[in-house]
Amino acid sequence: MASKVTRLRALALYKELHRLGRDYEPSYDFHGKLRRLFEKNRNLTDDEEIEKALRFGEYIKNETLALYSLRKYRHLKRMYPSNSTSDT
């Protein structure tokens, strides 16, 4: 059975992913997929399986953050094009 600490970790992860999903493409249905994934794993009782699911959630969070950083970088790169006529 999951401990209270594990439950709080899962809730915090869900909230963080839900906040990250606000900026995601609406056509991807990030919130719907997130909810279905958490509901699918709701009845896990084995501590190893719960830890594996939480690690997967952390992986999704890190990948989403990386995608947002890349998107911001690309936007800035478009806003400030490199000067191709520079004298070096």
pTM: 0.77
Q: How far is CA 60 from the centre of its chain?
A: 4
Tokens 């999903």 belong to 21
Question: What is the predicted pLDDT for the residue at 84?
Answer: 60
Look up residue 53 and give its two tokens: 């699911």
Q: At what angle do helices 4-20 and 30-40 cross, to 10 degrees?
A: 160
Can you give the pLDDT at residue 10? 95
Sequential pLDDT tens for the chain (88 residues):
568 999 999 999 999 999 999 888 888 899 999 999 999 999 999 999 999 999 999 999 999 999 988 888 888 888 887 776 555 5
